[in-house]
Amino acid sequence: MYDLKEPGGKILQLEGGTAGEALKQLGLRKGAIAARLNGRLVDLFHPLDEGGEIEAVSADSEEGIDILRHSAAHLMAQAVEELYPGTKYGVGPSIRDGFYYDMEIPGGITEEDLPRIEKEMRRLAKRSIPVERREMSKEEAIDYFRNEKDDQYKVEIISELEEDHVSLYFQGGYADLCRGPHVPDTSWVKHFRLLSLAGAYWRGDENNVMLTRVYGTAFPNGEELDAYLHRLEEAKKRDHRRLGKELDLFSLQPEGPGFPFFHPKGMVIMNCLTDFWRKEHVKRGYCEIHTPMILNRDLWIRSGHWDHY
């Protein structure tokens, strides 16, 4: 029998059960996406084996949204695995305003494939596939990803961990190395959108293979998602690359990627901004210098620019 105390002081005596069941009996289950048990975040399906303090983590809190987006990354990875068997996975964290996953996808994908992946995500979400957490030794996890999944990226990550035991999350045929917590089942991820693709070297090392990074976002409700997508569209209208071309402000040439060629209209704006910048710096006691535009390539190799330009 365990005593669980909620923030308001109410005490519940419980024998077994899960964190979610405890929150329900305490009247805290509504709107919760996870729980905090003795200071640590746990899944709603976390089996209770200790007493202490428990509180709900709401889906619209900062921590709750982070959990939702991390679960959305898993749902996307599961959808990709269904559509592109043999996909191997790097890392897939939640980030500010969304999530991403780095993947080695057989045959590759383009942005035209994102709606198809979204459709598969919605199909999987409607199935309410249960999410299960399993703890195992490092050796068991390495064996699983090496022999069951043939995923060298996960094997590499696990091999470098200091912990003797790790946790894996399973949903259907998909499994991922993760500390969690996550949503109880896939139906919790309803309001999402895949946004873009990018290339990402494994471990950020240009000597490694380049993986496909898929960016997306997710929100607790459709209104917040729609508002975010609207902000993205408004930002696109104000993109300097678009405006530079439409307003005849500047152009970019193959001989100088990253170095704009300013046209007469663009120079008017440039001079106004430079004059303002100069006055403000002089007012604050700064001195002005001028550095060369052309330097030895060793500098650009050291800065990381050389391979991109």
Reported as a pLDDT band with limits 50, 70 and 90, residue 309 is low
Q: Which two tokens stand for residue 293?
A: 């535009």
In the chain, the percentage of residues whose pLDDT exceeds 70 is 99
In a domain, 245, yes or no: no
Closest C-alpha to 45, from 178, 221, 180:
180
Answer yes or no: do 87 and 216 share one domain.
yes
Answer yes or no: do 89 and 144 share one domain.
yes
Answer yes or no: do 229 and 309 share one domain.
no
pLDDT reading at 15 higher than 80: no
In a domain, 85, yes or no: yes
Answer yes or no: do 136 and 259 share one domain.
no
In a domain, 246, yes or no: no
Q: With contact defined as beta carbons under 8 Å apart, do 104 and 88 qualify? A: yes
Cβ neighbours of residue 279 under 8 Å, at least 6 residues apart? none
Answer yes or no: do 54 and 76 share one domain.
no
Answer yes or no: do 114 and 198 share one domain.
yes
Answer yes or no: do 112 and 125 share one domain.
yes
Answer yes or no: do 80 and 213 share one domain.
yes
pLDDT confidence of residue 7: 81
Q: Which two tokens stand for residue 257?
A: 């990627």
Identity of residue 62: E
Answer yes or no: do 93 and 215 share one domain.
yes
CATH number of the structural domain spanning residue 76: 3.30.980.10
Please work out, in degrees rounded to the nearest 5, the angle formed at the alpha carbon of residue 38 by the alpha carbons of 34 and 44: 20
The number of distinct structural domains making up the chain is 3
Please work out, in degrees rounded to the nearest 5, the angle formed at the alpha carbon of residue 303 by the alpha carbons of 299 and 309: 85
Domain that holds residue 24: 2-58
| pLDDT tens digit sequence for 38-87 | 999 999 999 988 888 999 999 999 999 999 999 999 999 999 999 999 99
In a domain, 273, yes or no: yes
Answer yes or no: do 275 and 179 share one domain.
no
Answer yes or no: do 106 and 22 share one domain.
no
| pLDDT tens digit sequence for 156-168 | 999 999 999 999 9
Cβ neighbours of residue 120 under 8 Å, at least 6 residues apart? 79, 82, 83
CATH number of the structural domain spanning residue 35: 3.10.20.30
| pLDDT tens digit sequence for 124-155 | 999 999 999 999 999 999 999 999 999 999 99
Q: Which two tokens stand for residue 260?
A: 């704009």
Answer yes or no: do 163 and 196 share one domain.
yes
Distances (CA, A) of 306 to 136, 198, 201, 203, 253: 44, 19, 16, 19, 17
